[in-house]
Amino acid sequence: MGDKHSIDEARARLLAAGADQKDLDWFDTLGWNDAHTPPIASDADAAEFKRREEKLNAAVAHLSFPERAESPEGKLAAAIGARVADWSDRDEND
């Protein structure tokens, strides 16, 4: 997803938004590709996903809506948010 330049910019924005190296490493394992966002397997995972989604959104808060939608962070935030919603909805379907 995206080119090296946009990933480098995303990493810098995330660091400025308070993400740590562990977060960046996790995004690296996904290849910064929203399609590679894994499902949530536990409440602890859900908490981590929510925290990372917050960091991603904070990193692009200053961008316009179209810029956020096209940014690696915006795409990952949307995918992570969908996983969190799926996890939350599973309780209602039990």
Over residues 41-54, the mean pLDDT reads 97
Q: What is the dihedral of CA 40, 42, 47, 50, to 10 degrees?
A: 10
Domain limits of the chain?
4-93
Q: Does 2 score more than 80 pLDDT? A: no
Please give the Cα distance from 40 to 34 (Å, whole number). Answer: 14
* % of the chain residues with pLDDT over 70: 94
For all residues of the chain together, what is the average pLDDT? Answer: 92
User: Is the entire prediction scored with pTM above 0.85?
Assistant: yes
Q: Cα 31–36–40 angle (5° rounding)?
A: 125
pLDDT tens per residue, range 15-29: 999 999 999 999 999
